[in-house]
Structure 1
Amino acid sequence: MELTSYHDSMLSLAAPFVALGLVLLTRRVVLSLLCGALVAALLLAGFSPVDTATLLFDRFVAIFWDDGALNTWNVYILAFLLLLGILSALLTISGGTRAFADWARNHVKTKRGSRLFAATLGVVIFIDDYFNALAVGQIARPLTDQQGVSRAKLAYLIDSTSAPICVISPLSSWGAYIIGLIATVLASHNMAAEGAFNAFISMIPMNFYAIFGLVMVFAVAWYNINIGPMKAHEDNAANGQLYNPANGEPAGDMSISDELSNGSANNLLIPIFALVVSAVFFLIYTGYANLAAADQPFSIMGAFAETDVALTLLWCGSIAVFVAFVMMMPQKPSISHYTGALKHGTQAMMPAVIILVCAWLLVGLIGSLETGKYLASVVGDSIPHNALPAVIFIVAGLMALATGTSWGTFGIMLPIAGDMAAATDISLIMPMMAAVLAGAVFGDHCSPISDTTILSSTGAGSHHIDHVTTQLPYALFTAAISFIGYLVFGLTESIAAGLVVGFICLAILIAVLRQRHGNA
């Protein structure tokens, strides 16, 4: 089937706008994603009903089976979600979650401490955003639940640390991917001697959104700043209602009555430790295997660049479930305890699986519409060169918002940023690429169709739409300050000036928000 091209048309924005608009109007995520996918398919198929139905069916099948082979990335991610649900059920049934909450109550005795614990954990686990979002939720949720922190607040703490820390960490799956793209951009402009790794390191202080976003997270955790709809969630949580029960149980959460009474905190800590250690091992091992297959020398950075994240998650999830299974054996559980974990864990993750599959369907169709290329094309030659970093930041943000993928935005926008810098002022190439990274994370934080946003909701046990609407004000405030920072940089040609002005603005903002919306 020949698809209609929309890379130079505003119609390429129709599908993401329909999906985003319906999500905010109806708060029904799956319906909104499917409506956006239908609009995209109609456009691509030239409004032919038969071709539209065929295209939708083919793209749905391709999520699981593509080019005559299993789509291992998607299938392994979904399998990891189900494994994590089963792991969570095992931890609950064993009594490990309750025991850890009891331990935490004696050691972390305040809401502030539980929020800071979650935020710090989000920074410490920097190897991959998917893993970060789900692992931090599993570890921190018993503590934040115990202290009456809303699930929406936990989801914000998870999401707003995972991507920002991954995007500035060279030893992460994000860092490795970005360094590989930077190497290509530099080579195309005869700047390979700069070194992609050195370029990445030099761009860290230029990534204003990641830096200011992390500072904002810890300020919110310390002062309990509740902007917009977050206040209602926190007020309800203080009265024992961690999420809105009218919307049912959120993905990743479960109610289990058949819990063993002789569990200990080790029933939770040891499987989680196995999850983290095996994740690090397999991230390096799968990268090593891919390097060896390509007859390339081994290095840690090379391994992270070539690692198979999806396969790693499948392995570490399987190992953690096995460890949790073995840890329960001395407690003499019945067969029904194990079958119950399988049932409850799978059921708890099904909403997340459905949302993620629908998001992948929509994102794939948006890619065919070439929405990203259209958004990039709106940046014309008439823009003053000193405004380019600020403009690139906004365009990258809009692209990530509309497409739901920061990695896809990196892939499209980094080469464009390099070309624009070469055509205007080559000294801007690093700041402009850093602005792309910053904008992509910002847009990803705002997008309800982002897989990392979905997984952060799942890890926190929060309703997805509640996470999207409560995180949005924080992301917009941080983006506004980042935009000011890039404007100051453009005017002064000084990264330090941009950072200083940004930090001053952020300090003023935090002081005002603390006065109006904060409490301990």
Structure 2
Amino acid sequence: MEAILNWEYMPIVPPLITLILVLATRKVVLSLGIGIILSAIVVGNGQFGETLSLLWQGFAAIFVDSGSINTWEAFILIFLVLLGIMTAFINMSGGALQFSNWVVSKVKTRRQSKLVAGILGIIIFIDDYFSALMVGQVSKPLTDEHKVSRAKLAYIVDATASPVSVIAPISSWGAGIMALTAPLLVAASIETSAFMAFIEMIPMNLYVVAALALMFIVIIFNINIGPMRTHEERAMQEGILFDADKEIPGEMNDDLPLHKEGSPMALIMPLFALIVTVFVMMYATGVYEGGSYSLFSAFENTLVTHSLVVGGIVGLLVSLFYYFSYTGSKQEFGAKTFGLGIVNGFKAMMPAIIILTLAWMIGSLISSLGTGELLGHWVETSNLPIALIPAIVFIVACIMSLATGTSWGSFGILIPIAGEIIIALNSPELLLITIAAVLAGSVFGDHCSPISDSTILASTGSGSNHIDHVMTQIPYAVIAACIALVGFIVLGYTTNVLLGLLTVTVLLVAVTVVARFIKSSKTNTVTS
């Protein structure tokens, strides 16, 4: 038994089994639970008492860390509850219904409704969690009206959340990436600031370029690949936007009373108050923590989760203001209905809260397993040509992020390792390309991992079954990743960003032509 547990490749076994179970059974809670137990057994070296202790520690660490409240995980869960309750009162006050009616009068087609969601995802860039939840919440009434499946909405939301955050310098991601990059620039004797290096890396992040471009291609030409075709055809032909027999996080109870004479402002103003408050609080907490009024310094030191909670409280208060303004004189909206709104808002977020809690537990245990370090070691000891290092790093970042469910974990492990490899090989011209490859691969893994917190939140915000979202998104993410991989090979050999982007563009055009040809062939077959 001990010989097996000490096996060199054991760190990748529990996350691999978890991923296989999730994809095979489509039961994410069960699969995560098994993965957590397996990880604890391996970390605890098969000892029963130690395994139980690790399980308890993994759960408790979500709420308490080093004797104080773990404000990252705990505050995200609090924000989810606030958002769920706020959404319930927005619905009951008629805000969602009236907003949908108003938007439908402006947006006439399915394509336009999907484009609105995609553009919103690019505009709301300050944080991937925030974007995943907000874009889904705002777009859902519109895409529902135009019979867009929830799986397609979740794909659009997820395709913009992490990709846009990872290339936005004024974001919670941008500041952190700059902090990881700065010491490598000094070590490589590259005379540029971390900010300018980040700007240079934006067009080098070929997965983000491919994923965002592919999303707009999918929207404009209505390209539905794999399982997404089933969801979209069912939505268009039968008006069924999601499988009601499956668990749908964030979905409100149909039994909630509805004030039909409300106003779109009952939805617009709470969300506007939430967004503005979060942005102001991110700046204010960054200034307080960093001691500088500089915008970039503020976002480098900001307290994202504190800002989300304050924004959630303000948004909830504004939603309650409109709720009482519209329903205060109506007998059916009494104290019992108020309590019903709170309970239903909380219950709507419970699936997401449970999955997130389990995902964080397994993420902590996977970190203890050393899965990331093992994958990083494979990169460090590879004897492949120097020009292929960016492509190899991209592949390893894909696998690492997929297995661990976190982009940030991959950033923290691989950026220093990849940077040191390039510095040791005396190839400073490949440093930024290689770091960009780490960022690109990490976002891909995040997109495809059922234990990724941002992917879970994209499902929640869009009201899609989580596994349906993961399974329908994977084909698009894999296509974008394959295109990016070829681009990184070209970029590694030429160090010419324009050639890398040209390669990605040519491959995207080829994919579009092939997809449209296949779609046309199937249409002609059905017609004949």
> Aligned pair in 2 of structure 1 residues 324, 516: CA closer, same or farther (>3 Å)?
same
Deviation of the 1:6 alpha carbon: 8.7
Moved more, 9-18 or 346-355: 9-18
Q: Say whether residues 1:455 and 2:454 are aligned partners.
A: no
How far apart are 1:255 and its partner, in Å?
Answer: 2.1
Quote the offset at 1:426 in angstroms.
2.0
Question: What is the rounded CA distance, in whole Å, between the counterparts of 2:454 and 2:266 in structure 1?
Answer: 27
Determine the C-alpha separation between the residues in 1 that align with 2:49 and 2:270.
Answer: 49
- 1:288-367 aligned at under 5 Å gives the runs 288-292=287-291, 297-331=292-326, 332=328, 333-367=333-367
Task: Kindly state the Cα deviation for residue 473 of structure 1 after the two structures are TM-superposed.
Answer: 0.2
Q: Give TM-score scaled by structure 2 length.
A: 0.94
Deviations 1:375-406 (A, max 9, x none): 11112241100111111111111110011100
Letter matched to residue 478 of structure 1: A
Q: Does 1:112 align with 2:97?
A: no
Q: Secondary structure of the equivalent of 1:177?
A: helix
Indicate the residue corresponding to 1:226 in structure 2: 224
* Identity of matched residues, %: 43
Q: 1:482 aligns with which of 478, 481, 484?
A: 484
What is the CA distance between 1:248 and its match in structure 2? 4.1
Q: Distance in 2 between matches of 1:369 and 1:70?
A: 25
Q: 1:418 to 1:258 in 2, by over 3 A?
A: same
Would you say the 8 A contact 1:6–1:12 is kept in 2? no
Q: Measure, in 2, the Cα distance between the counterparts of 1:172 and 1:323.
A: 26
2:142 equivalent to 1:143: yes
Q: Which residue of structure 2 lines up, in the alignment, with residue 399 of structure 1? A: 400
Post-superposition offset of 1:329: 2.0
Alpha carbons of 1:218 and 1:7: their partners in 2 closer, same or farther (altered >3 Å)? farther
Aligned residue number for residue 64 of structure 2: 65
* Partner residue, 2:446: 444
Query: 196, 211, 214: which one pairs with 1:213?
Result: 211
SS of structure 2 residue aligned to 1:382: coil
Letter aligned with residue 155 of structure 1: A
Partners of 1:74 and 1:252 in 2: CA distance = 22
Cα distance, 1:458 vs structure 2: 0.2
Aligned to 2:499: 497
Corresponding residue number in structure 1 for 2:526: none
SS at match of 1:436: helix
TM-aligned CA deviation for residue 34 of structure 1: 1.0
Shift of 1:53: 1.1
- Between the aligned partners of 1:300 and 1:390, the Cα distance in structure 2 is 34
Equivalence for 2:100: 101
How far apart, CA to CA, are the structure 2 residues paired with 1:369 and 1:125?
35
| Runs of 5+ consecutive residues of structure 1 not aligned to the other structure | none
How far did residue 517 of structure 1 move?
4.1
Alpha carbons 1:4, 1:46 under 8 Å: kept: no
Aligned residues: 513
User: CA deviation digits over 1:89-130, x for unaligned, max 9?
Assistant: 111100110101111111111100100000000000000000
Q: Is the 8 A contact 1:227 1:517 kept in 2?
A: no
- Quick check: 2:88–2:252 contact (8 Å CA) kept in 1? no
Amino acid at match of 2:113: S
C-alpha distance 302-256 of structure 1, shift in aligned 2 (>3 A): farther
TM-score (structure 1 length as normaliser)? 0.96
| Unpaired runs of at least 5, structure 2 | 524-528
1:7–1:369 contact (8 Å) kept in structure 2: no
Matches within 5 A, 1:49-198: 49-191=48-190, 193-198=191-196
- 1:2-17 matches, cutoff 5 A: 9-17=8-16
Deviation string, structure 1 residues 229-274 (Cα, Å, up to 9, x no partner): 0011111112121111121444444324411122111110111111
Sort the Cα spacing of 1:7 and 1:94 in 2 relative to 1 into closer, same or farther, 3 A. farther
* Counterpart contact for 1:8–1:374, Cα < 8 Å: no
- From 469, 472, 475, give the equivalent of 1:470: 472
The alignment's C-alpha RMSD in Å is 1.8
- Confirm or deny: 8 A CA contact 2:247 2:351 kept in the other structure: no
Distance change (3 Å), C-alpha of 1:399 and 1:162: same
